[in-house]
Structure 1
Amino acid sequence: MIEINHVTKSFSTSKKAVDNLNLTIPAGKIFGFLGPNGAGKSTTIKMMTGILPIDEGSITINGFDITKHPIEAKKIFGYVPDSPDLFLRLKGIEYLNFIGDVYDVPSDVRQEKIAYLTKTFGIYDALNDTIQTYSHGMRQKIIVSGVLLHEPKVWILDEPLTGLDPKSSYSLKEMMREHAQKGYTVFFSTHVLEVVEQLCDEVAIINEGTLLFHGTLEEMRTKFTSDGSLEQMFLELTNHE
């Protein structure tokens, strides 16, 4: 479970990037985090993962405060950032072994997981190449493989499907479903509303740092009198002044 309590973040005195955000993301659910560009999604995720400090409020991951107990919290979650351009000078296998070392993944388990994940995502044959030679999609796949290597209970994914080919996208979505079915938490941001309709148990919509909606898709449809599409509801919410 992820609990975001009265969280505020400002980068200037004139505007708050995230304004008094309250959200509870339950275990056993796939939770979609939606909003236009610049809405505060990535800022929220960077506070959730300890990359950005929180100005006001608190965030806990399975009971661990990310500010007060950062090491304990970070052992629990896996994070896919919005850009996969990381550790470019390492070979793919070096990066995955580095992640395995950080999270103390035993050698035999590590080898099996690396083979499974990289074959699933179609990058097994590129593991001895440096990441800087990878395409954007391949870089996304190696980062996702690293995140899943240590089997974290909480997945925090910032636009995880960007750059993935249809087969890999399908595989990751199936993994997300399986993870939630085990009683664990999947939190992901996306611009692809079709994916939200396919996957999400609950959604939250944020715009200009303010939470506009939190609930199930059925609750969102109930809120609107028309039988509009998710796209129509999203546009109506985010265009509202």
Structure 2
Amino acid sequence: MIGVEGLVRRFGSTVAVKGITFNVNDGEIYGLLGPNGSGKSTTMKILAGIIPPSGGRVVVNGIDVSRDPLRVKEVVGYVPETPLLYESLTPVEFFNFVGSVRGIPREELGERVETLVRAFGIERYLGETIGGLSFGTKQKISLISAMLHDPQVLILDEAMNGLDPKSARILRELLLGFKEEGKSIVFSTHVLALAETICDRVGVIYNGEIIAEGTVDELKEFAHEESLEDVFLKLTESQEEVAAIVGALREAF
């Protein structure tokens, strides 16, 4: 379970996250949705123990992030918006490195790597240097490395970026399987149709604040809209701006 209460994060004089509160239950996929610059990625980095909060309290799987960020990293699998990998290594070398850091027994590590590599179809890239691989393949490596230690909590920031349709479907099914095992998942995506089908609840973050939260159906009813995309645009005050831009483009072309 994840509990966030009054979370604040400052960068100098800029307040990126402004006292947000939400929770993610065991066996739940929580969608954290927001436009670029809303504080979404900052929040997810705090949940993963990557950066400390400036205020408030965050508890992940019973561990206070401020007091013990190292223990938080032990129970969390985190995929950042842009893959952060050792690009001079091959995927095999990188997985072995992650396994050694995580303390995964060699035989167990080999089995998990084999299963996930086959699932995401990257067998032919295992001996190549990561730096020369495509963005999509790097994203798959990032996803695999986040799952190797069988984490209790998954923090996935735009994890679908760069994935082909087959791999995106496989990741979706994996997440639903993790949910059935009682894991907590925080999932952000700009593909709102995907969030609509996979998330149990959604929090919309805008200008560093949670402006709406609930199931997709609850948000649709609240905003009086038919789709999550329209809900999102309405709540983030983007509907009129989008309409004006589309109108200008039609006139220009």
TM-score in same-fold range (> 0.5): yes
Contact kept in structure 1, 2:49 and 2:72, CA below 8 Å:
no
Report SS of the residue matched to 1:239.
coil
- Residue equivalent to 2:242: none
Q: CA 1:171 to 1:230, structure 2 compared with 1: closer, same or farther past 3 Å?
A: same
Over the matched positions of the two proteins, sequence identity in percent amounts to 39
CA distance in 2, matches of 1:45, 1:114: 25
CA distance in 2, matches of 1:35, 1:227: 17
5 Å-filtered alignment, 1:48-197, equals 48-197=47-196
Deviation at 1:85, TM superposition (A): 4.0
CA distance in 1, matches of 2:5, 2:227: 31
| TM-score, normalised relative to structure 1 | 0.95
Correspondence 1:235 to 2:223: no
Structure 1 range deviating more: 96-105 or 227-236: 227-236
Deviation at 1:52, TM superposition (A): 1.8
CA distance in 2, matches of 1:85, 1:63: 27
CA distance in 1, matches of 2:48, 2:176: 22
The runs of 5 or more residues in structure 2 that have no matched partner are 239-253
Deviation at 1:227, TM superposition (A): 4.4
Contact kept in structure 1, 2:26 and 2:182, CA below 8 Å:
yes
Paired letter, 1:230: L
Structure 1 range deviating more: 63-72 or 150-159: 63-72
CA distance in 2, matches of 1:223, 1:34: 16
Report SS of the residue matched to 1:213.
strand
Structure 1's consecutive aligned runs of 4 or more residues displaced over 6 angstroms after TM superposition are none
Deviation at 1:53, TM superposition (A): 2.0
Deviations 1:107-130 (A, max 9, x none): 111111111101111111211111
The runs of 5 or more residues in structure 1 that have no matched partner are none
- Residue equivalent to 1:208: 207
CA distance in 2, matches of 1:79, 1:106: 21
Q: Would you say how many aligned residue pairs link Structure 1 and Structure 2?
A: 238
Contact kept in structure 1, 2:52 and 2:65, CA below 8 Å:
no
Q: CA 1:12 to 1:69, structure 2 compared with 1: closer, same or farther past 3 Å?
A: closer
| TM-score, normalised relative to structure 2 | 0.91
Report SS of the residue matched to 1:21.
strand
